[in-house]
């Protein structure tokens, strides 16, 4: 297994760097690097730049607007974007529903939705989790009844990310009852502007409005918005989740955050010396850096296997577990480094702007909010407990 980059791959890296230097808006990059919230307009502005370059959907087939990059090129691209402070593309359209439509959608669905995803004309959100149906997703109860040429949808979804901005939602709905709870589930595309759709905000512990409840009350959805076959939604959902988990490790972003942690530790003082010189704290950083280096090597092994035509196995679950644990550890050590300046700070939102005052150095202000927000990363995309079960089944045969 060759983990070294070829000269062609290094040339590609320089091409990506040149593009980012020339095209990445500085205000967006600075917001992201300093943990300030990005608005919908920030995300769309950057995504339109990527679309103009033809780099919006690296994982899509070329005939639908993809780049034709191999696994190593995609790894390099995401790594360099994280290094430069480029926002990740909002995943729900490009990385989740887009691949499902490409694999299972009708020609009409591909023709209509895929170009609108690439151009950011449609902002998508996900309708999976429900009260009582989170990790046990197959217990979902939202129903869709076929009446003539349309479905009538009733039910509730929760922990819906960024649905307040969305034009469309892809939903798992129950269209029939089967002997197994995974049977009778279908995959439906719903216009968020339809009568009967209600979005209610959930303000999380970090003070942000990132997630929502979405209610469906007699919502009419054209039958043509059913993806694939009725009752096959569980298979499509598993296909989608495999795409979601592949990017959760976020090695590039964690490398950038590790550098910030070291900077903070070099600024904070303990008994007249920089915190980074304190042996116990320095050891914590070192252990975290070693874990991150091992994670990056694991990711490169997976990427190398894909380059050689071998699909990833339970390694995707390993990357998800360790990647999210490292992300949480980074937020914890940053909080520890700034000491009393890490007292929870909850800004007030006025439209897309955040107002409020911080105490202490500027970098300390967002850290408590970020710490609270990152408690979720070991849960979404399939909780880490579920990932450990997957590893046990595939490797240990349990």
Q: Which residues pair with 155 in a beta bridge?
A: 216
Known catalytic residue at 244: yes
Pairing, β 185-191 against β 226-227 = antiparallel
Please pick, among 130, 244, 257, 296, the residue that the annotation labels catalytic: 244
Counted residue by residue, the chain has a size of 398
Pairing, β 124-127 against β 168-174 = parallel
Catalytic sites, residue numbers: 244
């Amino acid at each position: 297994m060759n983990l070294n980059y070829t000269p062609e791959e290094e040339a590609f890296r320089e091409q990506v760097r040149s593009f980012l230097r020339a095209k990445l808006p500085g205000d967006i990059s600075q917001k992201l690097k300093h943990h300030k919230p990005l608005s919908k307009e920030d995300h769309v502005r950057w995504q339109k730049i990527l679309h103009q370059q033809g780099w919006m959907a690296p994982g899509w087939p070329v005939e639908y607007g993809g780049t034709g990059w191999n696994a190593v090129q995609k790894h390099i691209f995401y790594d360099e974007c994280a290094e430069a402070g480029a926002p990740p593309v909002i995943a729900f359209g490009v990385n989740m529903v887009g691949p499902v439509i490409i694999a299972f959608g009708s020609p009409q669905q591909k023709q209509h939705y895929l170009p609108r995803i690439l151009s950011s004309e449609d902002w998508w959100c996900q309708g999976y989790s429900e009260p009582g149906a989170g990790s046990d997703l197959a217990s979902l109860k939202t129903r869709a009844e076929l009446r003539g040429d349309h479905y009538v949808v009733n039910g509730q979804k929760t922990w819906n990310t960024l649905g307040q901005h969305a034009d469309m939602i892809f939903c798992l709905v129950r269209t029939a009852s089967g002997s197994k709870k995974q049977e009778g589930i279908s995959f439906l595309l719903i216009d968020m502007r339809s009568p009967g759709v209600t979005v209610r905000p959930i303000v999380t512990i970090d003070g942000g409005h990132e997630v929502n409840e979405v209610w469906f009350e007699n919502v009419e959805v054209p039958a043509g918005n059913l993806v694939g076959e009725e009752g096959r939604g569980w298979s499509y959902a598993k296909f989608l989740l495999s795409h979601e988990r592949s990017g959760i490790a976020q090695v590039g972003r964690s490398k950038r955050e590790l550098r910030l942690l070291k900077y903070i530790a070099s600024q904070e003082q303990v008994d007249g010396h920089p915190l980074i010189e304190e042996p116990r704290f320095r050891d914590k950083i070192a252990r975290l850096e070693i874990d991150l280096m091992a994670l990056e090597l694991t990711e490169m092994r997976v990427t190398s296997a894909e380059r050689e035509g071998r699909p990833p196995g339970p390694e995707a679950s390993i990357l998800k577990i360790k990647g999210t644990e490292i992300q949480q550890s980074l937020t914890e050590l940053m909080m520890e480094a700034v000491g009393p300046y890490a007292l929870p700070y909850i800004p007030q939102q006025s439209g897309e702007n955040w107002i409020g005052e911080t105490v202490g150095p500027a970098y300390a202000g967002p850290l408590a909010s970020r710490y609270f927000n990152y408690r979720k990363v070991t849960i979404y995309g399939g909780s880490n407990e579920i990932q450990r079960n997957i590893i046990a089944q595939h490797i240990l045969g349990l």
